[in-house]
Amino acid sequence: MRGFQDILKRYKAKHDLNLQYQVFDTRGANELPDTDWDIYICSGGPGDPLSSETEEWDINFMKLMDQLETHNASDAPNKKHVLFVCHSFQMMCRRYKLGLINKRRSPSFGILPVHFTVAGHNEPVLDNLADPFYTVDSRSWQVIHPDEGRFTKLGMQLLCIEKERPHVDLPRAMMAIRFNEYFIGTQFHPEADAEGIKAHLSTDERRSEVINEHGKDKYNDMLESLDDPDKIMHTQNTLIPNFLDQAVLSFV
């Protein structure tokens, strides 16, 4: 959550905006915003994106998405722009039935490359990112096997896919999707900041977990990657600000 807040504070200061935000604990306390906000950022979180479908918070979240979609389809000005990250991205893939959601053989964790599709090269929210670009990936679940028929029928675009693994015979997960003109989502964490991740990895507990799960070389490689300005620092300074640019400019 800190990463999102830091980005918003920097964006507000850079553009001298009267930007106000509020945090809602949707999963923990069933808190949801109303439809009066201009921009919505839905965060990630651990857990099964399928098992909560009948829980009250999940039902209410989807009702909010219904309301925002209805607003955006109307003649009302000031459309509602929404960014979905990680767990909420998986929930939206479930909502639209875009592919198979399943648990990975082992968790994906690290600073990993993400590759563009053809559509991704034409997505303004991804402007100024390299192909591939680097970001923090932390998930036990994934969305694979895109249903091309559903994508075509709903007018959605797959923007990014998981890194290529030539020696692993497994499907590459969907990593970013343009759901519609105003909704976009990422499986990865564009808000992740180097300082926060480094502090998290430096705790004895997390260090032991990563080394036991992925090995000491992977752990050291992650720490080294955090200091590379062209990796997650660039992604954090680029993707969400691009999303905010697109949303804010629509109000001008």
Q: What is the pLDDT of residues 172-198, one digit of tens each?
A: 999 999 999 999 999 999 999 888 888
In a domain, 216, yes or no: no
Q: In the prediction, which pLDDT does 10 show? A: 97
SS3 8: helix
pLDDT band at 9 (very low <50, low <70, confident <90, very high): very high
Check residues 105 and 168 and name the one with the higher pLDDT: 105
Q: In the prediction, which pLDDT does 8 show? A: 97
On the question of pLDDT at 143 being above 80, the answer is yes
CB 136 within 8 A of CB 167: no
In a domain, 204, yes or no: no
Give the range of the structural domain holding residue 47, as residue numbers without chain letter.
Answer: 2-103+113-192+233-249
Using omega within 30 degrees of 0 as the cis cutoff, is the peptide bond preceding 49 cis?
Answer: no
- Count Cβ atoms below 10 Å from residue 204 Cβ, excluding itself: 7
pLDDT (mean) for 137-157: 96
Percent of the chain with pLDDT over 90: 73
| 25 burial type by CB count under 10 A (0-12 exposed, 13-18 middle, 19+ buried) | exposed
In a domain, 205, yes or no: no
Q: How many residues does the chain have?
A: 252
Check residues 222 and 43 and name the one with the higher pLDDT: 43
Q: In the prediction, which pLDDT does 138 show? A: 85
pLDDT (mean) for 3-23: 96
Percent of the chain with pLDDT over 70: 100
In a domain, 217, yes or no: no
Q: What does the alpha-carbon distance between residue 69 and residue 97 come to, in Å, rounded to a whole number?
A: 17
In a domain, 215, yes or no: no
| 221 burial type by CB count under 10 A (0-12 exposed, 13-18 middle, 19+ buried) | middle
Strands 39-42 and 81-85: parallel
Please, where are the H alpha helices in the chain? 2-15, 26-29, 56-73, 87-96, 148-154, 194-201, 204-214, 216-226, 232-236, 239-249
In a domain, 108, yes or no: no
Q: In the prediction, which pLDDT does 214 show? A: 79
Cα 126–130–134 angle (5° rounding)? 90
What Rg, from alpha-carbon coordinates, does the chain have? 18
Q: Which residues pair with 134 in a beta bridge?
A: 113
On the question of pLDDT at 26 being above 90, the answer is yes
In a domain, 212, yes or no: no
Helix axes 204-214, 194-201, angle to 10 degrees: 90
Structural domain tally of the chain? 1
In a domain, 94, yes or no: yes
Q: Which residues pair with 141 in a beta bridge?
A: 103
Q: What is the CATH number of the domain that holds 21?
A: 3.40.50.880
